[in-house]
Amino acid sequence: MPAPSTTEAARRNRNLCAIGGGVLLVAVLALLPGVASPYTLTMILPVFAYAIALLGLNLLFGTSGLLSFGHALFLAIGAYAAAVMTGHWGVKSLELVLLGGIAAAVVVAIPVGFLSVRYTRIFFGMLTLSFGMLFHSFLIKFYNVTGGDTGMSVKRVRLLGLDLSHLSRVEFQTGPLYYYALVLVIAATLLMWRIVQSPFGLHLRAQRDNARKAEYLGVRVHAFRLAAFVLSAAYGAVAGVLLAVRSGNADPELAYWTHSGELVFMTVLGGFASFVGPLVGAFAFIFLRDWLMGMTEFWRLAMGGILVLVVIFVPRGLAGLAADATTRLRNQFDLRSRR
Amino acid sequence: MKGQHTRGVLRRRDVIKGAGAVAAGVAVTGFPAIAQNTSLKIGILTPKGGIAATAGENGLRGCQWAVERLNKAGGIAGRKVELVVEEETNAQQTIERFNKLVLQDKVDMVQGVVSTGVALALGPVVEDSKKLTIMWDGTTQDGVTEKLPDARYCFKSTDNECEAVMASLLAIKHFKGKFKTIAGINPDYSYGRNNWAAFKAILKRYGIEYEVVAEQWPKVGNMEVTSFVAALKAAKPDLIFSSLLFADLPVFMQQAHAAELTKSSLMVFPAAGWQHTSLKKAFTPENMLFGHNTLYFGHPNPTPLQKEFVDWYVGTHKDYPHWEADRAYFAMESYKTAVEAAHKAKGGWPSQDDVIDTLKSGIKVQSLGGPGWFRKDNIAEQTFIQGLTTHKNAYDFCTLSTFDTMTSDVLQKPAGADFWKWIETAKFPV
Amino acid sequence: MAAFAEIVLGGLFHAAVLFLVAAGLQLVFGVQKIVNLACGAFYALGAYVGASAAKWAIGVGLPTPLVLVVVLLAGLACAVIGPPLERVLRTVYDRDESFQLLLTFAFLLMFQDLFRIGWGANPQTTGSLFLSFGTLDLGLFKTPAYNVFVIAVAITVAAGLGWFLQRTNFGRLLRATAENRAMAEAVGVNARAMFSVVFTLGVALGTVGGALVVPASAASLDMAAELVVEAFAVVVIGGLGSISGALAGAVIVGLVRAAAIVFYAEAELLAIYAIVIAVLILRPAGLFGKEAV
């Protein structure tokens, strides 16, 4: 019986490490409500929401090489779907609202994606930005349907059929909704991991690196890109539903192009080349902004400055930085053990 | 104040403490010393960036001036006030900032909020947090419908349509018989939409026949108004009703003047008071109906309070305040008055519920622009000033020649009433 | 007829403003292949500095034409921020274009606060400078002379840029670099210096545009982010990188918007994005663009 090759052993080792790290992280997050302040917990909820959105966005950006500057469109669709379903249709169950949000996003994403994925690079970015702004101006202009700039309110939902209306908003958000969102993040992460590792993910990477060559090899480039686009839209809608349920409203700012810019900012901050980068990015962005807003009224300047530094000096993001650090540590360790 | 202002610019958290000695009469009431010695922490939510920043800045100055004054006089029922300022941005983020004030900074109460969009989203959060909040200019109206009719903790500004109702009444008073065709150019959000609808409803109520020849909805803060002006001119309205109020207003007025629109049409501008110093004589016509609202600095007989504030404002900021400063002052003064009344009644530091009940009892406050109070449904009643513009003054901008003063108890729908039904039957002072 | 002409003129004025913002965007994209999200911020900077310059010039009692000269020179002077910003951008030239896009997005964020630090929250206007240019009698109707002046300047800038790119030596080198950077460098073009000059020129177009328009408008905190989107619409319709495309795109957007305001106000912004999407789908390179994708 031949011994497993060293690379395979290393890979298994790395996978074990990843699984261990993931389990540890989940454990920490699950225990957090016992120790962290209620305010910190209310801020983790948007981290979860954005983490899901960024996992989707990065399927386009990191895996497929398509930079969307209009992804906020799908968060807004999720949020407005939640508003319409809970406000107008009297739907109470969050599960149904999530499904409704995903359905709405998929319905919009299919034509938008069909038109957009024929292009790459800056044209793709501009087309998605235009679609996002088209929706934004619809929300602003059709006041009688959408409530204009004030948006629409989102009613309190039930989780798994449980009526939790006796809880205060903060109790609801730092307790049941927190765990609900945590489970969603775990599920979304595992699903995305499967997707990225599957032959589908491989095809996406192949077309990213060389679209023409991939086509020669039988990759249906446009179809695969469209599938990635629709998937990422569905992830965005889940995030939008969570954000709207948390704040109790859906407003047009969600669809504005600078919100899309923030999503890209988060992804790059975390590191788009890494699978966990988006999760790191969402966390870092939300708490960085919260900290800066408490520090200075000129937090936009500070955030802009940080973005400049990240783009120039840490292009692989925080996840890349961490990876470099571990490699360096490991190399040192190897050197020492060899001595 | 100058120094403090600079610090406020450098650091977000403006901690204001009076210069006078600490009022130390602690043991007198027999109340726990800790409640009396610690300062009152008041959270402020105010816009600092974007289109509403100018309103937020004005409000914050009014608020800081109020705090400085009351701290010098010994604070609120003996406790100094300390402000924790956070930025009002969009609805999502402002709720986060509110959570931070309540959960992390543990403030005693919250004031601020300019945008109705934000307030509408924040209102339920306030109720749920059970934290007394007095809004400067935010309402919880969806259109003209009150969405939080049973509010307990959330105290709100006057209804958005108040200015429009008053301007409509005055338009009838001054311009009746002089117009048949009307045109509206109103900012594309609920405030603008409601104002225009209210104007038309009141014309109808008084049996004034009109024909709408143009209805325009420029995006809030849109600076490109030439196309709107051209379209208005083509429509040839006898009267133009506009609730433009941001930086777009002086731009519009300047272009309208150059296109001679201001010569051919009567102008009714209920929210012009936001831009009063930018509306220069050179392009703002006389006899335009101008909503100066509460801080009419050219008032022939101002109250000493108003005079003191306006003089300070001009001296410090080289500008004249508008009504947001009055709203902010009113919020702080209402809280102070209610706490002190409840304190006196109880003979000790009042609970939040005591303060809320006192506010709800309609306790009257003298604000910068005139008297004001809260109704039982937590909606403010305030003083409004509107009138016709004149160039006869020492400034380079317009003031009012004749003006009317009304309190909102005749301008806004009573608690729980439907706005449109109320318009049809209400008793109006004109 | 007079009404129609006035509406068209209103649309053209808007088109002139858009062209001035978009021209800088086009020039930079044409040569450096960078989509500059900060172009709106440059325009806003010109507007703020122009408004301050106007206040100063009126304060010291300069005659109106000289005030205008001071305003425009102030706008031009703002271009000094070009080379340092280009220096920052240079660090990511060899990386994916998303990094360049993000860097300019960061500039935009930072400028919003810089304006607040410099000028506070209040919008900045030039008082009655706009009106001191009087009105122009065009037979059918009268119109503010300054609006016509802005349109004329925009046309002059368009023509000047065209001449510069087509007829001057530097313009030819510039186009050569845009076409094929390696080849241009091989024949001795200093691409580095070229990029710095082009970027600064792009900045100058924005800042001078802002200073030029501010007397007819105002400088405010949110104008930068708003303008970017409209400028984007213009360049997408006209074709990325093409100056004549920017001109055509600006005229289309300006006129469509004016028409929408008259006929169907709800469609004011929707119409523009609908055209953008239609163009991107039918002719992705834009009306005047050269290459697709």
Give all chains having 3 or more CB-to-CB distances under 8 Å with chain C: A, B
- The distance from CA B295 to its chain's CA centroid, rounded to whole angstroms, is 10
- Residue A214 has what pLDDT? 78
Q: Residue holding tokens 């049941």? A: A176
Contact residues, chain C, for B280 at CB < 8 Å? 127-128
Does the structure show a pLDDT above 50 at B6? no
Report the gap between the CA of C103 and the closest CA in chain A (Å). 6
Least confident of B82-86, B156-160, C284-288: C284-288
Q: For the CA atoms of chain A, what is the radius of gyration?
A: 21
Helices (H), A198-220: 199-209, 211-216
Q: Hey, which residues does B280 pair with through a beta bridge?
A: B397
- Residue C230 has what pLDDT? 87
Contact residues, chain B, for C9 at CB < 8 Å? 226, 230
Backbone φ and ψ for B41, nearest 5 degrees, come out as -100, 120
Q: Hey, which residues does B407 pair with through a beta bridge?
A: B383
Does the structure show a pLDDT above 80 at B303? yes
Contact residues, chain B, for C147 at CB < 8 Å? 226, 255, 258
CA distance A327 to B110: 49
Is the torsion defined by CA of C93, C95, C98, C102 positive or negative?
A: negative
- pLDDT band per the 50, 70, 90 thresholds, residue B32: very low
Does B54 sit within 8 Å of C122, measured CB to CB?
yes
ipTM of the complex: 0.88
> Tens digit of pLDDT for each residue in B212-247?
999 998 888 788 888 899 889 889 999 999 999 988
**For residue C178, what are its two tokens?**
């845009």
Q: Which helix (H) or strand (E) holds C2?
A: helix C2-32
CA distance C197 to C91: 16
Name the residue among B9, B222, B227 with its Cβ closest to that of C11: B227
Shortest CA distance to C238 belongs to which of C249, C254, C253, C227?
C249
3-state secondary structure of B397: strand
Does B9 sit within 8 Å of A293, measured CB to CB?
no
> Tens digit of pLDDT for each residue in A193-234?
999 988 888 888 888 888 888 788 777 888 999 999 999 999
Report the gap between the CA of C201 and the closest CA in chain B (Å). 25
Q: Which helix (H) or strand (E) holds B414?
A: none
> Tens digit of pLDDT for each residue in A107-153?
999 999 998 888 878 888 888 988 999 899 889 888 888 888 888 88
Angle at which helices A199-209 and A221-247 pack, to 10 degrees?
A: 110
Does A300 sit within 8 Å of B49, measured CB to CB?
yes
Give all chains having 3 or more CB-to-CB distances under 8 Å with chain A: B, C
- Residue B28 has what pLDDT? 39
- Residue B17 has what pLDDT? 38
Q: Residue holding tokens 């962290």? A: A36
- Residue B44 has what pLDDT? 96
Mean pLDDT for chain A overall: 88
- The distance from CA B54 to its chain's CA centroid, rounded to whole angstroms, is 13
When comparing pLDDT for B390 and B7, which is higher? B390
Q: Which helix (H) or strand (E) holds A328?
A: helix A317-338
CA distance C164 to A211: 38
Tell whether A69 is within 8 A of chain C (Cβ). Answer: yes
Name the residue among A119, A261, A264 with its Cβ closest to that of C284: A119
B277: left (phi over 0), alpha (psi -120 to 50) or beta: alpha
**For residue A321, what are its two tokens?**
């930085």
- Residue A99 has what pLDDT? 96
Tell whether B50 is within 8 A of chain A (Cβ). Answer: no
**Correct CATH for B162-294+384-425 of 3.40.50.300, 3.40.50.720, 3.40.50.2300, 1.10.510.10:** 3.40.50.2300
Burial classification of residue C46, based on how many CB atoms lie within 10 Å of its CB (0-12 exposed, 13-18 middle, 19 or more buried): buried
Angle at which helices C243-263 and C145-167 pack, to 10 degrees?
A: 150
Contact residues, chain C, for A127 at CB < 8 Å? 277, 280
Shortest CA distance to B122 belongs to which of B47, B227, B181?
B47
Antiparallel, parallel or unpaired: β B370-374 and B365-367: antiparallel
Q: Which helix (H) or strand (E) holds A62?
A: none
Tell whether B87 is within 8 A of chain A (Cβ). Answer: yes
Contact residues, chain B, for C146 at CB < 8 Å? 258
- Residue A161 has what pLDDT? 81
CA distance B136 to B294: 13
**For residue A250, what are its two tokens?**
């859906």
Render A103-141 in DSSP notation, one character per residue. Answer: HHHHHHHHHHHHHHTT--HHHHHHHHHHHHHHHHHHHHH
Report the gap between the CA of B256 and the closest CA in chain C (Å). 10
DSSP conformational letter for B28: G
Tell whether B57 is within 8 A of chain C (Cβ). Answer: yes
Name the residue among A61, A119, A258 with its Cβ closest to that of C225: A258
- Residue B36 has what pLDDT? 56
DSSP conformational letter for A274: S
Sheet holding B399-407, edge to edge: B211-216, B181-185, B239-241, B266-269, B289-291, B383-390, B399-407
DSSP conformational letter for C81: G
Burial classification of residue A158, based on how many CB atoms lie within 10 Å of its CB (0-12 exposed, 13-18 middle, 19 or more buried): middle
Closest-CA residue of A relative to B106 is A39
Dihedral Cα A284, A290, A296, A301, nearest 10 deg: 50
When comparing pLDDT for A21 and A339, which is higher? A21
Does A168 sit within 8 Å of B129, measured CB to CB?
yes
Shortest CA distance to A128 belongs to which of B289, B230, C236?
C236
**Correct CATH for B2-157+301-381 of 3.40.1190.10, 3.40.50.2300, 2.40.10.120, 3.20.20.70:** 3.40.50.2300
CB of B142 within 8 A of CB of A150? yes
- Residue A206 has what pLDDT? 83
CA distance C219 to B259: 21
Tell whether C220 is within 8 A of chain B (Cβ). Answer: yes
Helices (H), B130-247: 162-175, 190-205, 226-235
> Tens digit of pLDDT for each residue in B90-114?
888 999 999 999 999 999 999 999 9
Neighbours of A31 (CB within 10 A): 10
Burial classification of residue C43, based on how many CB atoms lie within 10 Å of its CB (0-12 exposed, 13-18 middle, 19 or more buried): buried
Shortest CA distance to B188 belongs to which of A189, C261, A130?
C261
> Tens digit of pLDDT for each residue in B111-153?
999 988 899 999 999 999 999 999 999 988 888 888 888 899 9
Does C257 sit within 8 Å of B255, measured CB to CB?
no
Q: Residue holding tokens 């934290």? A: B131
- Residue B377 has what pLDDT? 92
Tell whether A285 is within 8 A of chain C (Cβ). Answer: no
Domain assignments of chain B as residue spans, ordered by start: 2-157+301-381, 162-294+384-425
> Tens digit of pLDDT for each residue in A166-179?
888 888 888 899 99
Shortest CA distance to B227 belongs to which of B183, B250, B259, B195?
B259
Tell whether B86 is within 8 A of chain A (Cβ). Answer: yes
Report the gap between the CA of B45 and the closest CA in chain C (Å). 16
Q: Residue holding tokens 């209306």? A: A165
Q: Hey, which residues does B201 pair with through a beta bridge?
A: none
- Residue A209 has what pLDDT? 83
Which CA distances in Å does C254 have to A118, B224, C269?
29, 10, 11
Name the residue among A39, A251, A254 with its Cβ closest to that of B99: A39
CA distance A115 to A125: 12
Name the residue among C222, C254, C265 with its Cβ closest to that of B51: C222
> Taking CB atoms and an 8 Å cut-off, how many pairs form between chains A and C?
121
Q: Hey, which residues does A159 pair with through a beta bridge?
A: A162
Does the structure show a pLDDT above 70 at A339? no
Name the residue among A38, A150, A297 with its Cβ closest to that of B116: A150
Q: Residue holding tokens 């119409």? A: C271
- Residue A337 has what pLDDT? 66
Angle at which helices B116-129 and B190-205 pack, to 10 degrees?
A: 100
Tell whether B126 is within 8 A of chain A (Cβ). Answer: no
Does the structure show a pLDDT above 80 at A16? no
Domain assignments of chain A as residue spans, ordered by start: 39-338
- Residue B18 has what pLDDT? 37
Closest-CA residue of B relative to C258 is B227
- Residue C101 has what pLDDT? 87
Contact residues, chain C, for A257 at CB < 8 Å? 225, 228-229
Spell out where chain A has E strands: 152-153, 249-250
- The distance from CA A295 to its chain's CA centroid, rounded to whole angstroms, is 27
Sheet holding B109-112, edge to edge: B81-87, B40-46, B109-112, B133-135, B154-155
pTM of the model: 0.89
**For residue B58, what are its two tokens?**
């004005």
In a structure prediction context, what are the per-residue pLDDT tens digits for chain C, which is 293 residues long?
777 888 898 899 999 989 998 999 888 888 888 888 899 999 999 999 999 999 999 999 999 999 999 999 999 999 999 999 999 998 988 888 888 888 999 999 999 999 999 998 888 988 888 888 888 887 777 888 999 999 999 999 999 998 988 889 888 888 888 888 888 888 888 888 888 999 999 999 999 999 999 999 999 888 888 888 888 889 888 888 888 899 999 999 999 988 888 887 777 788 888 888 888 778 877 777 764 33
